[in-house]
């Protein structure tokens, strides 16, 4: 099909030409003299993006799933008690990863249209008088539901309960799109992949580990080899790796870091807020429903859209792919067939969002959902125009 492929799933996201050009080079010697400067710039830039001065950056050629495993085997021993919250497909899988690695996981099942309730965190940890929980697992932005949990409130709840558990946070669909503050929110481990807000292809796992997590790595008894971050930290301080790194991805990552810092984190977050609100205005004007029940927790990197009761969300996704060259995210787990997801993160602007909204409306009609064609598109256009041409003052 001619024309641009609209990859509007919540990741992988579109890779900018600038990053593709940075990666288009002969494969370098991963033990050669050019690596230390490259690695040093990447680590320094990633610390700025994680908003940390105390965290150490750990890189692996892996996916976000590999980052889950690395976050756990370095901080949690088999048999250790872990608290997790099932608020969506990926938060459940993170808990399942811990379970498969031998942790005793208390997984709290919650509605899939809400975030992690900070009061619930406080109450559970306050009752743990023996301080048996070693870690709390939280997905900052649940990619299956479009809900962003309040990490500041969650850390406040842990502090109020005076509990020493580590806070391990999945920021896979948040970092580089939604404000995330490693130091201010006292996160112990944050983990992500390269294929979402960082605008790269899939293939690298990135973690930020704080002092308490690094200390825990010296004590835990979990079997680990490749995902043991101690040799990685030791070697990357010299600019190298204890394994063969994804060298061309490193050049792309350096370019991605440069692009984000050139735009400025405040500008990046504002752009994602603006684009996300345009999508939400479009959904409402079309007569559809945003899955997230609390506007304060709306995700700025994706929107999960609930279809009418007798409609099939998967049919919307199929129509978009087969007839419009538009890729939308399917509903996952208990949301399969009930919702589809619009990704609006990474390298994206208003015109691309408007084209996406037009395609979503058409795909819905093709799938048998009755909605007023153009209503969502017009609502999105009006919102974007208001950002550039303020309404005249009334007298």
First to last CA, the chain: 53
In this predicted model, what pLDDT tens digit does every residue of 344-364 receive, in sequence order? 999 999 999 999 999 999 999
CATH second-level architecture of 17-262?
3-Layer(aba) Sandwich (3.40)
What pLDDT, on a 0 to 100 scale, did the predictor assign at position 393? 65
Structural element, H or E, at residue 341: strand 339-343
Residues 11 and 196: beta-carbon distance below 8 Å: yes
In this predicted model, what pLDDT tens digit does every residue of 142-174 receive, in sequence order? 999 999 999 999 999 999 999 999 999 999 999
What pLDDT, on a 0 to 100 scale, did the predictor assign at position 1? 66
The share of the chain scoring above pLDDT 70, in percent, equals 98
What global pTM score does this model have?
0.96
Could you state, in order of their start, the residue ranges of all structural domains in the chain?
6-12+265-388, 17-262
Contacts (Cβ under 8 Å, ≥6 apart) of 381: 354
pLDDT value at 2 more than 90: no
Contacts (Cβ under 8 Å, ≥6 apart) of 268: 176, 177, 260
Mean per-residue pLDDT, 56-72: 98
pLDDT value at 127 more than 90: yes
CATH second-level architecture of 6-12+265-388?
Alpha-Beta Complex (3.90)
Q: What is the CA radius of gyration of the chain?
A: 21
Predicted confidence band of residue 395 (pLDDT cuts 50, 70, 90): low
Mean per-residue pLDDT, 70-82: 98
pLDDT value at 62 more than 80: yes
What pLDDT, on a 0 to 100 scale, did the predictor assign at position 278? 98
């Amino acid at each position: 099909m001619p024309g641009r492929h609209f990859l509007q799933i919540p990741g992988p996201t579109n890779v900018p030409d600038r990053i593709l050009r940075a990666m288009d080079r002969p494969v370098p010697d991963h033990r050669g003299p050019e690596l230390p400067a490259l690695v040093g710039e990447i680590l320094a830039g990633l610390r700025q993006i994680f908003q940390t001065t105390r965290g150490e950056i750990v890189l692996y050629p892996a996916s976000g799933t590999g980052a889950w495993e690395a976050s756990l085997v370095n901080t949690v021993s088999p048999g250790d008690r872990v608290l997790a919250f099932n608020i969506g497909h990926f938060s459940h899988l993170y808990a399942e990863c811990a379970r498969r690695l031998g942790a005793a996981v208390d997984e709290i099942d919650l509605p899939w249209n809400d975030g992690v309730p900070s009061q619930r965190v406080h109450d559970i940890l306050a009752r743990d008088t023996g301080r048996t929980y070693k870690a709390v697992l939280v997905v900052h932005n649940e990619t299956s539901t479009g809900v962003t949990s309040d990490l500041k409130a969650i850390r406040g709840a842990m502090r109020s309960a005076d509990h020493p558990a580590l806070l391990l946070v999945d920021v896979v669909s948040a970092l580089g799109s939604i404000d995330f503050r490693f130091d201010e929110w006292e996160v112990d481990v944050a983990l992500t992949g390269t294929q979402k807000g960082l605008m790269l292809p899939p293939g690298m796992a990135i973690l930020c580990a704080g002092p308490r997590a690094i200390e825990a790595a010296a004590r835990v008894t979990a079997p680990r080899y490749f995902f043991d971050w101690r040799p990685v930290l030791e070697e990357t301080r010299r600019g190298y790796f204890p394994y063969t790194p994804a060298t061309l991805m490193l050049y792309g990552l350096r370019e991605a870091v440069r692009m984000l810092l050139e735009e400025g984190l405040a500008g990046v977050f504002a752009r994602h807020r603006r684009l996300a609100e345009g999508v939400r205005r479009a959904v409402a004007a079309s007569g559809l429903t945003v899955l997230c029940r609390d506007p304060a927790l709306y995700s700025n990197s994706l929107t999960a859209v609930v279809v009418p009761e007798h409609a099939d969300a998967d049919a919307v996704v199929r129509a978009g792919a087969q007839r419009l060259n538009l890729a939308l995210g399917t509903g996952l787990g208990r949301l399969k067939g009930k919702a589809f997801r619009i990704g609006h993160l990474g390298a994206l602007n208003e015109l691309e969002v408007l084209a996406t909204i037009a395609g979503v409306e058409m795909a819905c009609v093709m799938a048998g959902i009755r909605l007023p064609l153009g209503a969502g598109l017009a609502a999105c256009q009006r919102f974007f125009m208001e950002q550039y041409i303020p309404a005249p003052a009334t007298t």
